[in-house]
Structure 1
Amino acid sequence: MAAFGRHKAQRLARPDGSRRGGLDERAAPVVRLLNGRARFCTTSSCAGRIVLAQGSTAERDRSPPSRCRFNRFSRSQDAGIQKQNCTWLLVTHETCDKGDVMTALEKATGDVVLKFEPFVLHVQCQELQDAQLLHSVAVDSGFRNSGITVGRGGKIMMAVRSTHCLEVPLCHKGKLMVSEEYIEFLIHVANQKMEENIKRINRFYERLESALNAAVSANSSSSQETGKNRSVYVHRRKRKTMQEQGVRTSPEDHNAESEPQDGAESSLAIFAEIMIAD
């Protein structure tokens, strides 16, 4: 447990490696909620995005959106971003319109695809049961492509993912291969997916918060019950030890187990015990 805490502190102390150096606005609440708990540490995130990617390998570029904890982009500042062997002509975490896409396509000189990539989050968990809780909440919230991996060193990672992606070629060697009407239709589909993505993120946050609070309450109740059971055990053990040593126990020592007795009979029993002792 201490080792996980140290690793988490070191990880979160690193400078943010994303191009914007900060959290996606919609991913921020989930990331902060998890990092605020001792048993979780986020390692990468993206709130979801619509991308125009250009390059010979653009259609095969399915690498995670960021290798860092956070990722944030705007449609105006990300034009022309280089990513591995492709260039992003347009990137936005919001819905987009036809004008934005057509303006970006004017810069096309190679193969271009329009992509929608949904919310993704990678979390390192302290115990397998923590990852299982997170996985259950993610699946129930609509992120049904989520999964858990355990490394050789025991590192437990939970990935929150969904399958409602979109990837469609638009240009070949800079030449537009589809009609503007079709582009308008694709933008409508991508925007619908973005809206659904936002709903799932909000649902995930609400259910995750409830699940984490419930887990804390359950652990607290379990600790109290364990303490109570230990107290009863110690009491019984103490009485047994006294009996084995020939030490007479008082009636109060039997209250935890003995059946209630009639008041008169109890008084007579105590009186007889005193007489025998004399």
Structure 2
Amino acid sequence: MRAKREALKALFTAISENKVDRDIVDLLLLINSIKGVYTTSSCSGRVGIIEEPKIGAKPLSRWIIKKHAPITFEEAKDSLKDAREGIIFLKAQPPIFHIVGETPEIGKKLHEIGLSSGFKYTTFKALSKDRVLVEINGTEYLTVPLGRDGKVLITDEYLEFLINLANEMLERSKSRLPRLEQNFKKLKKELGEDELFYELNPPRAQYI
């Protein structure tokens, strides 16, 4: 109960500060309104261009453009003017949700929901007798090097091809979100709603 209370407070604060991807706010509220279930971190999927000082140096990486929606060739081309140091990558990443089930039985249901909704990389990330963390994740990942130290080493034609491909992968992965939402609505009917969620007066609770 205490862990969910803290998770809900963090979520509601993030929503009020516009730090949550807008296209999954209602889905996150739905998930967290279910008895025995809460989220820790989530992303609605994104396309962007990032600089990494060296392979594996993720904490020091710098996004020069990042959107949770398709980007245009012009946006990508313009962003590359800001590239300075490190390896330049184009990335496409699918939606990802980290969800806690407060019993092993609920954890199994979360895992089944992820898979049945088309998120084939859904896995158990942490298991204990009273807590199960499930990662609901898709397969549509793309990482392509574009250049290094501010110098782009591919043609505009190839860049445009990559942008179109990345956008297509993002849209394909996001297309599963309505199915995921429907499956969580079914789970809410099965498990019931959590009084704690409404007690903390979340934003837009009247719609959940």
| 3-state SS in 2 of match to 1:193 | helix
**Residue of structure 1 in register with 2:203 after alignment:** none
Q: Deviations over 1:196-223 (max 9, x none)?
A: 122111211112212432x248xxxxxx
User: Quick one: which of 45, 53, 75 aligns to 1:56?
Assistant: 53
Q: 1:195-214 residue pairs with structure 2 within 5 A?
A: 195-213=171-189
Shift of 1:157: 0.5
User: Quick one: which of 1, 23, 35 aligns to 1:38?
Assistant: 35
Question: Structure 1: any 5+ residue segments left out of the alignment?
Answer: 63-83, 218-278
Q: Deviations over 1:95-132 (max 9, x none)?
A: 11100000000111222100011101101111111111
> Quick one: which amino acid aligns to residue 161 of structure 2?
F
Aligned mates of 1:54, 1:35 — CA distance in 2: 34
Aligned mates of 2:114, 2:179 — CA distance in 1: 9
> Quick one: which amino acid aligns to residue 192 of structure 1?
E
Shift of 1:85: 0.9
Question: Structure 2: any 5+ residue segments left out of the alignment?
Answer: 193-208
User: Quick one: which of 99, 118, 135 aligns to 2:74?
Assistant: 99
Structure 1 or 2: more strand by fraction: 2
The answer to whether structure 1 residue 156 and structure 2 residue 132 are counterparts is yes
Normalized against structure 1, the TM-score is what? 0.63
Q: Deviations over 1:122-167 (max 9, x none)?
A: 0111111111111111111111111123345743101111121000
Aligned mates of 1:173, 1:216 — CA distance in 2: 53
Aligned mates of 1:114, 1:205 — CA distance in 2: 29
Length, aligned pairs only? 189
> Quick one: which amino acid aligns to residue 98 of structure 1?
F
**Residue of structure 2 in register with 1:14 after alignment:** 10
Contact 2:140–2:170 under 8 Å retained in 1: no
> Quick one: which amino acid aligns to residue 89 of structure 2?
V
User: Quick one: which of 137, 142, 146 aligns to 1:166?
Assistant: 142
Q: 1:198-237 residue pairs with structure 2 within 5 A?
A: 198-213=174-189, 215-216=190-191
Contact 1:31–1:42 under 8 Å retained in 2: yes
> Quick one: which amino acid aligns to residue 206 of structure 1?
Q
> Quick one: which amino acid aligns to residue 24 of structure 1?
D
**In structure 2, do the counterparts of structure 1 residues 55 and 150 end up closer, same or farther at CA, with 3 Å as the change threshold?**
closer
Aligned mates of 1:56, 1:26 — CA distance in 2: 31
Aligned mates of 2:73, 2:170 — CA distance in 1: 15
Aligned mates of 1:174, 1:56 — CA distance in 2: 11
